[in-house]
Structure 1
Amino acid sequence: MNNDINKTAVIGMGALGMLYASQISSALGPDAVYFLADQNRIERYKKMTFTINGTPWSFPIKSPAETDPADLIIIAVKYNALPSALETMKYAVGPHTTIISVMNGIDSEAIAGNRFGDEKVLYCIAQGMDAMKFGSDLTYTRSGELCLGTRIKGQEDRLKALTRYFDSAGIAYRTESDILKRLWGKFMLNVGINQTCMAYEANYAQALTPGTIYYTLVGAMREVISLSQKEGVTLTEGDLESYIELLKTLSPEGVPSMRQDGIARRPSEVEMFSGTVRRLAARHGLLVPVNDMLYEKIKKIEASY
């Protein structure tokens, strides 16, 4: 196969979609990347002025009918939008297309692989960024990094091509030998910080201050540790502590994506976090009272919209 990556399609014009599209555009030119969207979204986007850290930005946007197979597709949508995103991007997937997901959770890669072929989908975890998007305005102080790895045998050449491309685009990354543990570690972090900040209307500084909010954060993460061990992934208390230290590097007044959802009064990704924890825990006969509480609390918040 031809391993060179020249044309990137991004689906999802949220914080991470805009972050990576702008990095690629800045380094490789505006013709190197475009967004994929259905016609309704395109019409809505045409009426909006997008900014990144206060600077106006514009990106090419194509409908499914206008696109040809891309070399790389970055999936950057909310969990509940994944099925429609896969449908929107189907004409952009060719035999040599590589697909990565910067979504949270632990199953978007498998879902995309089932639709388009496991050989096309690499593991990718986005971490360490403090990007926030409200309306059409993206702000961030830390762009973080992507953790990359293969999912199945025979993907090594795809991974090498992707890292070459990210080198040229100036996108920070690291390759992981145990990418599955990293995936579960980021899931553990998000189950804690995303849900806790939404449930308690907190920012990072408030979530890290000893007290009810902090103990909820840690308790939810510890339940994922127990669950991971049942799933054959060995997360430890040391992993939890390292992710707490990572949170301390983010802007204290910043908030994670689910808190942004709450502020905007839009549906959150609670099903991807405590919803997944509860489903898997039931399979193993585990009790997850902190995630049960967060699930119910967030569902009540959403019901009030």
Structure 2
Amino acid sequence: MSSPPTSAEAAATTETIAVVGTGAVGTALAAWFARAGHRVVAGSRTAPERPVVVIDEGDGPRAYPVRWHTDPAQADTTADWVFVATKLPHTPAAAKWLPALVGPTTRIVAAQNGVDHRERFAELTTVPVVPALIYFIAERLAVGSVQIRHADPELVLPDDEIGRQAARLCNDSGIVAETEPDFTTQAWRKLLINATANPLTVLTCRRLEVLGEPPVAELALALLEETVQVGRAVGARFDESSPSEALARLQAFDPHGTTSMLQDLENNRGLEHEGLTGTVVRLARRHGIPTPVSGTILALLRGLSVNDRARDTI
């Protein structure tokens, strides 16, 4: 990870950055931007005792100041950037913050899972939205506190004007970000990981080590093969080796690592299966592609979620 800017550099480039949704990803982003000297506003339904975010990157916890709001009415200024880091089911709740935070020059970064970021926000706002793929692994320890496992890069954004602007903001703040000309393929490569690791860890109630067991690995490969077929139908560039390469990547992850959906299950939060496995099945039907394994996994996840206590909150 690159070094954060010096205080002098930060003073010259300070921006107001709002982070809506303070789960693992949102808390990490808020901490990184606050560390770089930006004015950070955190929007969430709950707040820690102190107006700080605490991040542990392997060298012990460190706290950085933020302005913490639990109601959009508390926001007294618009932001230069709004990073929406809510879970997919909570996107409508995130939209309630936008009128208070978005001004004529505000740009929105959708730091969420899935492959349809811009479409998701099309009916919610008229300001520019840039999708972001998150590759660092974060585990929320408490409200406003997160533990990080770094990746290189940490974020991937599209190689267009607003994507390059967001990448410069991140890199200047010490967050490793890259731009990708073929963002469609990159987003589907991420979906390969998310639509496999998340459901299988949830349905087995185990961490990533479960993907090393032969029967689960066989099931994972079947999911990957179906997702690759659907991705090709919508323009992602995959070859015959893509499923096996994705499985090898999954099995190379830290076996003690978790997934965002498993964390949601353990904390009785709503699951993101509709935006992950549900997207695969929905697009498969549109293109006439059979997805029996993904369809079965989706049915099980929907059954598991019948008694979700998640509400339209963040």
Is the TM-score greater than 0.5? yes
Which position in structure 1 is the counterpart of 2:39? 32
Mapped to 2, the partners of 1:228 and 1:217 lie a distance apart of 16
Report 1:55-134 matches (<5 A). 55=61, 57=63, 59-62=66-69, 63-65=71-73, 66-117=75-126, 120-127=128-135, 129-134=136-141
Query: Which TM-score applies when normalising by structure 2?
Result: 0.82
1:112-261 matched pairs, under 5 angstroms: 112-117=121-126, 120-127=128-135, 129-136=136-143, 137-144=145-152, 145-150=154-159, 155-156=160-161, 158-207=162-211, 209-261=212-264
* TM-score (normalizing by structure 1): 0.85
Alpha-carbon distance change, 163 to 141 in structure 1, aligned in 2, over 3 angstroms: closer
CA displacement 1:73-128 (0-9 Å, x = unmatched): 111001110011012222211221111111101123222234223x611232112x
Give CA-to-partner distance per residue, 1:196-236, whole Å, 9 cap, x none. Answer: 111112211221x1412112222112111111122222223
Q: Which moved more, 1:253-262 or 1:87-96?
A: 87-96
Deviations 1:251-281 (A, max 9, x none): 3211111111122232211111122222111
Q: Return 5+ residue gaps in structure 1 as ranges.
A: none
What displacement does 1:170 show?
0.3
Instruction: Compare the two structures and name the one with the higher helix fraction.
Output: 1
Show CA shifts across 1:107-155 (max 9, x none): 23222234223x611232112x2211244342223255111115xxxx5
The answer on whether the counterparts of 2:31 and 2:53 sit within 8 Å (CA) in structure 1 is no
In the alignment, the residues of structure 2 paired with residue 296 and residue 159 of structure 1 have an alpha-carbon distance, to the nearest angstrom, of: 36
More strand by share: 2
Percent identical residues: 24
The question of whether the paired residues in 2 share the 8 Å contact of 1:200 and 1:213 is answered with: no
Q: Is the 8 A contact 1:5 1:72 kept in 2?
A: no
Asked if 1:270 corresponds to 2:273, the answer is yes
Q: Tell me which moved more, 6-15 or 226-235.
A: 226-235
CA contact (8 A) 2:207 2:258 kept: yes
* Distance of 1:237 and 1:77 partners within structure 2: 34
Kindly provide the amino acid, as one letter, of the partner of residue 140 in structure 2.
K
